[in-house]
């Protein structure tokens, strides 16, 4: 392969035929020799390259100068690094036929909601989270809140996508996020507490190096919610036990509840929690 062409490929990650200029003949020769392969029409990578979702996202941005990566890929790029990317979606002002590499949508992302990283352009975390929430799943919003997005940002992103299909689901999830849950299990716990008219609790309260899931600060009662997605292993188990011991040394009572308990026996959970709160009826010094 032409040395200059190879250098550009290493620098840019993909080669775009229409932008190759005087190197176009070299590019065509490398492609015909099987040294390059197409990701999208006119967008090529080295023949030995695995066509991962990251490569497809990069190819989409190279293919269309106004393309913006959205959906799962934008979430994985911006804030939810463990997000499983099943397909790469992109917004683009012109209608483009979707193939196996990228699913295109004829839509624009407002400039203020676009993040640029090198040649990649993808939706801002708040915009990506709200966009994904149109399917009715809360995990995208929960992870965005956990990563540091503010609820006000999510509402602003929602306002930037008027008339979208799925907006009723987006609005409902944002309203349900008023106590800023960081997981689906925490979201369920918040719903149960609100339905039971339990008051005085706050979420994501910082005590020393820890953030408490739900806390009654004056009573120093902490509710920790272990979600169904918890896979902390032995190290996570030990860290949680140490956390409980540190909080206990500071005068806190730690109540742990699991996703399964919240799902199967919410009344039993409330009964036990109320019992703890009654015993701590007398406010502690702040």
**126-180 tens-digit pLDDT:** 999 999 999 888 999 999 999 999 999 999 999 999 999 999 999 999 999 999 9
Sheet of strand 114-117, all strands in order from the earlier edge strand to the far edge: 103-106, 89-92, 68-70, 120-123, 114-117
Residue 283 binned pLDDT confidence (cut-offs 50, 70, 90): low
The chain-wide mean pLDDT, for the chain, equals 92
The reported pTM is 0.84
CB 19 within 8 A of CB 44: no
Report how far residue 270's alpha carbon sits from residue 189's, in angstroms, rounded to the nearest whole number: 10
Confidence check: pLDDT of 229 > 80: no
Q: Structure tokens of 14? A: 């993909």
Q: What is the pLDDT of residues 174-186, one digit of tens each?
A: 999 999 999 999 9
Q: What kind of architecture, by CATH, is found in domain 184-279?
A: 3-Layer(aba) Sandwich (3.40)
**What is the Cα–Cα distance from 26 to 2, expressed in whole angstroms?**
6
Distance separating alpha carbons of residues 122 and 102, to the nearest angstrom: 14
| pLDDT tens for each residue of 90-113 | 999 886 666 779 999 999 999 999
Work out the pLDDT band at 85, boundaries 50, 70, 90.
Answer: very high
Q: pLDDT, tens digit, for every residue of 30-69?
A: 999 999 999 999 999 999 999 999 999 999 999 999 999 9
DSSP string, 261-273: HHHH-HHHHHHHH
CA–CA separation, 218 and 216 (whole Å): 6
Cα–Cα separations (whole angstroms), residue 72 to 99, 154, 189? 17, 16, 26
What ranges do the domains of the chain cover?
3-49, 54-175, 184-279
Determine the average pLDDT of the residues in 210-222.
95
């Amino acid at each position: 392969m032409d040395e200059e062409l190879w250098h550009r490929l290493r620098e840019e990650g993909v080669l775009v035929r229409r932008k190759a200029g005087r190197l176009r003949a070299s590019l065509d020769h490398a492609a015909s020799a099987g040294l390059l392969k197409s990701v999208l029409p006119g967008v090529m990578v080295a023949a030995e390259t695995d066509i991962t979702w990251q490569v497809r996202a990069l190819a989409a941005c190279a293919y269309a100068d106004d393309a913006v990566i959205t959906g799962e890929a934008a979430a994985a790029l911006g804030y939810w690094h463990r997000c499983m990317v099943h397909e790469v979606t992109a917004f683009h002002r012109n209608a483009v036929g979707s193939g196996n590499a990228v699913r295109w949508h004829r839509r624009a992302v407002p400039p203020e909601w676009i993040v640029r990283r090198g040649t990649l352009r993808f939706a801002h975390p708040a915009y990506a989270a709200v966009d994904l929430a149109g399917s009715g799943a809360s995990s995208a919003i929960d992870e965005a809140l956990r990563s540091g997005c503010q609820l006000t940002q999510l509402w602003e992103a929602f306002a930037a996508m008027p008339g979208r299909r799925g907006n009723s689901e987006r609005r409902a999830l944002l309203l349900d996020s008023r106590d800023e849950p960081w997981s689906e299990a925490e979201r369920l716990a918040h719903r149960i507490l609100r339905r039971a008219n339990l008051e005085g609790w706050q979420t994501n309260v910082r005590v020393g190096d820890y953030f408490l899931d739900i806390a009654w600060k004056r009573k120093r009662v902490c509710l920790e919610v272990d979600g169904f997605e918890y896979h902390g292993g032995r190290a996570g188990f030990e860290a949680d036990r140490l956390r409980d011991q540190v909080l206990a040394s500071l005068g806190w009572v730690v109540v742990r509840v699991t996703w399964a308990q919240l799902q199967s026996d919410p009344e039993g959970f409330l009964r036990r929690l109320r019992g703890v709160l009654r015993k701590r009826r007398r406010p502690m010094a702040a």
